[in-house]
Amino acid sequence: MQSLAGLISLVITLYIWVLIASAIMSWLVAFNVLNTRNRFVYQVGDMLYRLTEPALRPIRRVLPNLGGIDLSPVVLILLLVFLRSLLFEYVF
């Protein structure tokens, strides 16, 4: 049971890093630091979008519109950290 909990914790941690990378990449694209016409940059951005958007979309529907500020990654990261700590509390 502990090995399964360790695997779930690892997957949650990796997904948190994917969320952080997606947020940083969206900032870099928004400030024209990265050019999405570059094929590699486009593919990385598309992969990050496809990995994070299904989890972020329901949160974006619930959160109010704050202009250009998107707080959905922060909310999802907080939920994932809570889930991971809950997992450690009941398994270990």
Into how many domains does the chain fold? 1
* pTM of structure: 0.91
Closest by CA position to 45, among listed 32, 31, 27, 26: 26
Query: How do residues 19-64 score in pLDDT, each as one tens digit?
Result: 999 999 999 999 999 999 999 999 999 999 999 999 999 999 999 9
Query: How do residues 70-81 score in pLDDT, each as one tens digit?
Result: 999 999 999 999
Beta bridge partners of 66: 69
| Residues spanned by the domain of 8 | 2-91
Please state the rounded mean pLDDT for residues 2-9: 93
- What is the chain's length? 92
CB proximity list for 80: less than 8 A, separation 6 or greater: 12, 15, 16
